[in-house]
Amino acid sequence: MEYGLKPLGREKFWLWALLTPTLIGLLFGALGSVVATVLLSFAKWDLLTPPTWAGIANYIDLFKDQKVLLSLTNTIKFTAMYVPGVVVISLLIAVLMNRKVRGVGLFRTAYFLPAVTSAVATALVWHMIYGRDTGILNFILERLGMQPVCWLCTENAMYAVVIVNIWGAIGEGMIIFLAGLTAIPREYHEAAAIDGANRFDQFFRITVPLITPSIFFQTLISTINAFQAYDYIYMLTRRPGGDSSIPVVVFSIYRNAWNFFNYGGASAQAIELTVIVALLMAFYFWLERRYVVYE
């Protein structure tokens, strides 16, 4: 980017005036927050009594406190199911839609609907659908002669919640993949067909390599979303006491800070989350350099 508008005289002032909100955000919103959270993670503070220095006690808790550990395993389990689920299903739907089907507009609207609406509102319906004695899902199962399932009990809640989260995310993934698919020139497939490649080969040898940028992007976004997943878990698995049957890290941070007033512990968990996501991103970008094809 060699070209650029040069500010003349007093315009330097206006340039920095335009940038002021962003600079405030960078200094206080981002840098300040990170420093403050790191400091807090070494402290013990309930906001009622003065803070005390806690050393690395909060970080030891990350590995010792059973509930904190459980939240991390839950987040990892959730991510391991959610990310491949979203990527594979939305890719499949995008591929089907890209076959010049009739009524694409209608299908696109239908698949995108959950991505537009609030997770809180749709979780209320899912809660009814999953109901043990009154839900429609068990009603259907019983009609088919199967045993009813306790969908939101501890043993099944993870799967039930992953399904709903995938349901809510397919729409966006589908759009990303459709954009990638429509950019592939038709001639590639035509030439391959003339050479005798069947549809299966065409998909794995032409389509997949050419949309690796979209696959990479969608995997990245889905991973970040997986670590942030909160709304459906809060709405579907919250118990009367305020705990969840499958607490994830984000849930645990909220509870630690705003239910137990353990702001130091919650800060240590927030730092843990940041470090894990940053490491994963670094790994993804390493993969990208090796396997992603940019034309």
Partner 1 sequence: MTRQNQKLILDVVSYTLLILGGVLMVGPFLWMVSTSFKLPGDQFTKTLIPPTFTLENFRELFSVDLNFPLLFWNSTYISILITVGQLLTCAMAAFCFAVVKFKGRDLLFTALLLTLLIPPQVTLIPNFIIFKYLHLIGTSVPLWLPAFWGGAFGTFLLRQYFLTIPRDLVDAARVDGASLVQIFWKIYFPLGRPALAALAIFTFQGAWNDLLHPLVYMPSVPNTMLTVGLAFFQQQMAHGGKFTVLMSGALISILPLLLVFFFAQKQFIEGIALSGVKR
Binders in 55-84 for partner 1, by CB under 8 A: none
Query: Scanning the structure block, which residue is given the tokens 């839900």?
Result: 135
Residue 96 in the binding site for partner 1 (CB under 8 A): yes
Query: Collapsing DSSP states into helix, strand and coil, what is residue 148?
Result: coil
Q: Does 148 bind partner 1 (CB under 8 A)?
A: no
Among 22, 88, 153, 286, interactor with partner 1 by CB under 8 A:
22
Reading the block at residue 61, the tokens are: 């808790």
Residue span binding partner 1 (CB under 8 A) among the ranges 66-74, 79-87, 154-162, 262-270:
262-270
Per the listing, tokens 């702001």 go with 263
Among 62-70, 71-79, 131-139, 153-161, which window interacts with partner 1 (CB under 8 A)? 131-139
Residue range at the interface with partner 1 (CB under 8 A); choices 10-18, 59-67, 72-80, 152-160: 10-18
Pairwise CA distance, residues 140 & 146, whole Å: 9
Residue with Cβ nearer partner 1 (46 or 56) = 46
Number of residues that bind partner 1 (CB under 8 A): 99
Q: Which stretch binds partner 1 (CB under 8 A): 35-43, 61-69, 80-88, 184-192?
A: 35-43
**From candidates 42, 165, 180, 215, binder to partner 1 by CB under 8 A:** 180
* DSSP annotation of 246: S
Binding mask 217-256 for partner 1 (x = CB under 8 A): xx--x-----xx-xx--xx--x-x---------x--xx--
30 part of the interface to partner 1, by CB under 8 A: yes
Output the six-digit token pair for 169: 């995310």
Is the separation of the CB atoms in 247 and 67 below 8 Å? yes
In angstroms, what is the minimal distance from the CB of 194 to partner 1? Answer: 12
Closest to 232 measured CA to CA, from 248, 255, 218: 248
Give the binding range for partner 1 (CB under 8 A) out of 23-31, 61-69, 74-82, 150-158.
23-31
Q: Is 179 in the site for partner 1 (CB under 8 A)?
A: yes
Residue 28, both tokens: 């206080």
Q: Name the residue with tokens 């209320």.
A: 124
Mention every residue, 6+ apart, whose C-beta is less than 8 A from residue 295.
210
Confirm or reject binding of residue 44 to partner 1 (CB under 8 A).
no
Of 43, 83, 93, 152, which lies in the binding site for partner 1, with binding defined by CB under 8 A? 93
Note whether 222 and 165 are within 8 A (CB).
no
Piece of 62-70, 154-162, 184-192, 215-223 that binds partner 1 (CB under 8 A): 215-223
113 touches partner 1 (CB under 8 A) = yes
93 contact partners, CB below 8 Å, separation of at least 6: 111, 170, 174, 177
191 binds partner 1 (CB under 8 A): no
Cβ proximity of 265 and 61 under 8 Å? yes
CA pair distance 94, 182, nearest whole angstrom: 10
40 binds partner 1, rule: CB under 8 A: yes
| CA distance linking residue 221 with residue 213, whole number of Å | 12
Q: Single out the residue of 151, 155, 99 nearest to residue 126, CA to CA.
A: 151
Establish if 130 lies at the interface with partner 1 (CB under 8 A): no
Regarding 257 and contact with partner 1 (CB under 8 A), the answer is yes
- The reply to whether 88 sits near partner 1 by the rule CB under 8 A is no
